[in-house]
Amino acid sequence: MTSPSQRARERFDHPVIDADGHVLEYPPALLPFLRESLGQPLFDRYLDGMSPHGQIMQAGRAEDRRRTRTPQSAWWGTPARNTRDLATAALPRLMYERLDELGIDFTVLFGTKAFGAAAPADGDLRRGLCRGLNAYYAETYAAYSDRMTVAGVIPMHDPGEALDELEHCRSLGLKVAAFPEGVLRPIPEPADGHGSPFLLPGQAHWFDTFGLDSACDYDPVWSACERLGFAAVCHGGLGCISPYRFTSISNYSYNHIGSFADSMHRLVKSLFLGGVTRRFPRLNFAVLECGVGWAAILLADLIEHWKKRGPEGLRNLDPAGIDWNELEKLVREYGGGLFETGGDLRGGLRELPGIGLAPEELDDWRRVGVESEADIVERFAPRFYFGCEADDRTLAFAFAPGNPLGARLRPVFSSDLSHWDVPEMDAVVAEAYELVEREVLSERDFREFVCRNPARLFLDQNPAFFEGTLLEGRDLADGD
């Protein structure tokens, strides 16, 4: 019997490249790799502790969650009724054998036990976890590399550790490097009761997103990605749990809806306004499991802000341009009793405009280096790829004619295999193709989504990415 996705594949003739599936690591197989990478004392401490992600999954009682503000988890997060799908998530050979049934030619997989691996404040623990996971992925999935590859996890608390692990991933033969969306950093002088009103009471940390205002210069990391042939792929959950993402202690759907879009919105803004896509105009960045609708809004927002608060727009806002005599004349003519207070009219008028203390550098766009709308589109649209799942109707926004200058954004197919939002693995490609059948996407849009965009995300950085795979020799990133 053919699966729904196999039947959908009969409707089109191009490959399907999955940019974001998942695996469920079998702990008894994984733990020896972690013991080797951590050393026995640190490994024992790892076993005795519990990651924040583990704490979320194990915080059951409402009173405990209320006391600690622990968010409500996805308490059932993997396939259950379909036992074959659950086994597929854990068994590489079974997933490999089922790929035709799933309608997928090649899949990039991400770990599940990897969630939180790049988060620990203890650098030895953090680096050891990432190193052990990456060794496990490389060895366990090597035999299936013609159709599957697993992403290595890159710690990012400082550029040095990221560079070391990128080199390690390269030496292991891993072809995809996955970064967290940010790191939590201590504030050197946390506010006390009389401190900043912009910090929560007792707040001692802030969230660094690697670009604008970052504590570190991550340009060596992006340069290494180019040199080693890695796209900069960012997947939510690999690092710490941002306190802004999950805030409900009782409702997981509240926590999940929009959370990845929110975190990746911060990251993309940071990279763009920090000038990273200007300095690295050939490096591709991917942000996964977040959709693309918000990105269309972000691009439009960036252009409107550049028009009105870029160097030219600021001329209209510079207080030096106020004609105070003209303003006083108009107030006396039209103000009536509103301004007849008996006080110093000229002094009062000085308080009227919204004038704050200007920063040392007035140009918010100095790092981006743009002179036109076209420059903004060029630094944004070709450089960012957005992971979208099969049922995401906002995919249409990526190709909407209302996008600035007709820009076509670059969504990539993200199956999310092995997690709760894939009820049946063999139907996920069929579900994606329903967007064509319902005229949400055109055939051209769909091809870009499931083939062309995922292919060029990786091929731009590594032209040999598909060598030795089922897709070797195929013209995957061709135009229409």
Condensed to tens digits (0 to 9), the pLDDT of residues 212-232 reads: 999 999 999 999 999 999 999
pLDDT in tens, 405-464: 999 999 999 999 999 899 999 999 999 999 999 999 999 999 999 999 999 999 999 999
Q: What's the one-letter identity of residue 170?
A: R
Q: What's the one-letter identity of residue 425?
A: M
Phi, psi for residue 412 in degrees, rounded to 5 = -125, 140
pLDDT in tens, 100-144: 999 999 999 999 999 999 999 999 999 999 999 999 999 999 999
CB of 18 within 8 A of CB of 413? yes
Q: 3-class SS at 142?
A: helix
Does 8 score more than 90 pLDDT? Answer: yes
Q: How many CB atoms lie within 10 A of CB 354?
A: 6
Phi, psi for residue 288 in degrees, rounded to 5 = -110, 155
Name the residue with tokens 């949400």. Answer: 440
Compute the distance between CA of residue 6 and CA of residue 101 in angstroms, rounded to an integer.
6
- Residue 203 sits at the vertex; the CA angle it makes with 202 and 208, to the nearest 5 degrees, is 170
Q: Which domains does the chain have, with CATH numbers?
A: 4-306+367-459 (3.20.20.140)
Q: What's the one-letter identity of residue 374?
A: A
Name the residue with tokens 């026995």. Answer: 40
Residues 6 or more apart whose CB falls under 8 angstroms from that of 288 comprise 19, 20, 110, 233, 234, 235, 236, 260, 387, 412, 414
Beta bridge partners of 410: 385
Pairing of strands 384-388, 148-150: unpaired
pLDDT in tens, 258-307: 989 999 999 999 999 999 999 999 999 999 999 999 999 999 999 999 99
Give the Å distances, CA to CA, from 471 to 16, 206, 410, 417, 463: 10, 43, 21, 20, 13
40-48 and 123-141 helices cross at what angle (nearest 10)?
A: 90
- pTM, entire model: 0.94
Q: What's the one-letter identity of residue 332?
A: R
What's the DSSP call for residue 452? I
Does 477 score more than 80 pLDDT? Answer: no
